[in-house]
Chains A and B, each alone.
Chain A
Amino acid sequence: MNELAKELAGRYGARGWHDIRKDLASVEVDAIRIRDVMAYLRDEAGYGHLSFMTAIDNIERGAFTLSYALRDHDARRGLIVHADVDRAEPTVDSIHLLWGQAWTYQREMREWFGIDFPGSPRVDEEFVLEGWEGPPMMRRDFDSLAYSDATYAERPGRVTHDPASHMREKLYPEAAQ
């Protein structure tokens, strides 16, 4: 297992190999090398199956962390490859030529996070939304509740409690006072 870590570190400068559990590990690479790393993992290291790809909005450090989950079905192990991209100008190489379903994920990330994948088929088309005018909605600074309150009419009479304080008042009324 660690041979692969060494190999990736030597070839592509991968770092931070971390064994999540005995059949799953994660590793971090530079976003600019993501396509080379993926091609290597697919063709040389046996990780032939792309489970999914997604992004995490790490707004505190101004970066999107991309996660590519691969699986080697013969060796029965998985690998998650991370790559950070700049949140202000997120552009990543497309891997749609490596896997036939990757373009859908890239289209999703383009719409949900605003990450661009130049060259990916239909990447600028709408995926699940229609006529969306707001910012990419999976970014952490997009407030779903505020948007919903501003856009959709509400039926009066709905009461929302904060679970913690509500339970405290219900269970220990004397302490709450």
Chain B
Amino acid sequence: MSEKKTIPAPLANEGLPPEERGLFCDAAPREYEPARGAWERFLNWARSESLWLLGFGTGCGAIELRPLMTSRFDMYRYGIQPRPTPRQSSVFVIGGYASVKTLKRIVRSYEQMMGPKFVLALGSCTINGGMYWDSYNTIKRIDQYIPVDVYIAGCMPRPEALLAGFQELKRIIKSGGGEGQNEYARNFDWYKANQKKVIKDWNMPDYNW
């Protein structure tokens, strides 16, 4: 993974006023280098068993998170719990369609999350636009803007489907997958170009670390 290390140029942060540019990071994200052998497998096990998700209901899928959090479906059984801030969370649940205004906050929240981080995208609208395929304000596929680990189809996905999605995510992490964060670092320029194409008034730092 580290055979070809290119040092990316510092980010320009052109969306910010000049006096604020110094306040934000200007380095692009770097790939995570896994530890060796059994230690990394232990780490992956630990990561998969404590998935803390970001409490950001970005769309209508958030309504099925409420039954999931409470006693009937009870996701705490699986070590999953909501956290209020991106700094403490490792899973971002995109709850359905993302309008452009929300996408800006999604990108910002995703970049603020500590690695390793994973994205779970709910609903048909994150996959191909769903029933908002001709809407002028919703994006059609979320994986153009942030990397996605697991999709859960449906409109809306039932709590059982969400639990199955979380189990699938656990399996992926345990088997050493869940490379979304590295993919984002590797294709950073491509993701940024896509984001800036849609978000017309880019007034935040290029990498919200």
Q: Do A and B come into direct contact in the complex, CB within 8 Å?
A: yes
Complex Cα–Cα for A108 and B140 (A) = 25
A58 within 8 A of B: no
Give Cα distance in the complex from A133 to B144, angstroms. Answer: 21
- B 93-130 binary contact with A (CB < 8 Å = 1; else 0): 00000001100100000000000000000000001110
**Is the beta-carbon distance between B201 and A152 smaller than 8 angstroms?**
no
Q: Say yes or no: B128 contacts A158, CB within 8 Å.
A: yes
Q: Which of A1-9, A37-45, A49-57, A143-151 contacts B (4 or more CB under 8 A)?
A: A143-151
A152-177 CB contact bits vs B (8 Å, 1 = yes)? 11110110000000000000000000
> By the criterion CB–CB under 8 Å, are A155 and B128 in contact?
yes
Q: How far is the CA of A130 from the CA of B203 in the complex (A)?
A: 11
Chain A facing B: main interface SS? loop
The interface residues of chain A lying within 8 Å CB-to-CB of B69 are none
Interface residues on chain B, size class: 20 to 34
Evaluate contact between B140 and A152: CB separation under 8 angstroms: yes
**What residue in chain B is nearest A154 (Cβ atoms)?**
B140
User: Which chain B positions have C-beta within 8 A of A137?
Assistant: 136-137
Are B140 and A155 touching (Cβ within 8 A)?
Answer: yes
Interchain pairs with CB closer than 8 A, number: 55
B149 to chain A, nearest CB (A): 17
Return A160 CB to nearest CB of chain B, in Å.
Answer: 8
CB-CB contacts of B135-170 with A at 8 A, as 1s and 0s? Answer: 111111100100000000000000000000000000
B198 and A154: CB pair below 8 A? no
- Interface-centre pick from A129, A131, A137, A152 (highest chain B CB count, 10 A): A152
Contacts A153-B144, A155-B127; A148 near B201 (Cβ below 8 A) = no
Q: Does B73 contact A (CB under 8 A)?
A: no
Report the separation of the CA atoms of residues A147 and B133 in the bound assembly, to the nearest whole angstrom.
11
The yes or no answer to B194 lying at the interface (CB within 8 A) is yes
Check B199 for interface membership: any CB of A closer than 8 A. Answer: yes
Shortest beta-carbon distance from A161 to chain B in Å: 13
**What are the residues of chain A within 8 A of B19 when measuring CB–CB?**
none
Other A-B pairs beyond A131-B200, A151-B197, 4, CB < 8 Å:
A129-B100, A129-B137, A147-B136, A153-B139
Could you show 25 A-B contacts with beta carbons less than 8 Å apart? A129-B100, A129-B101, A130-B101, A131-B199, A133-B200, A137-B137, A144-B135, A144-B136, A147-B136, A148-B133, A148-B134, A148-B135, A148-B140, A152-B129, A152-B138, A152-B141, A152-B198, A153-B141, A153-B144, A153-B194, A154-B128, A154-B129, A155-B141, A158-B128, A158-B129
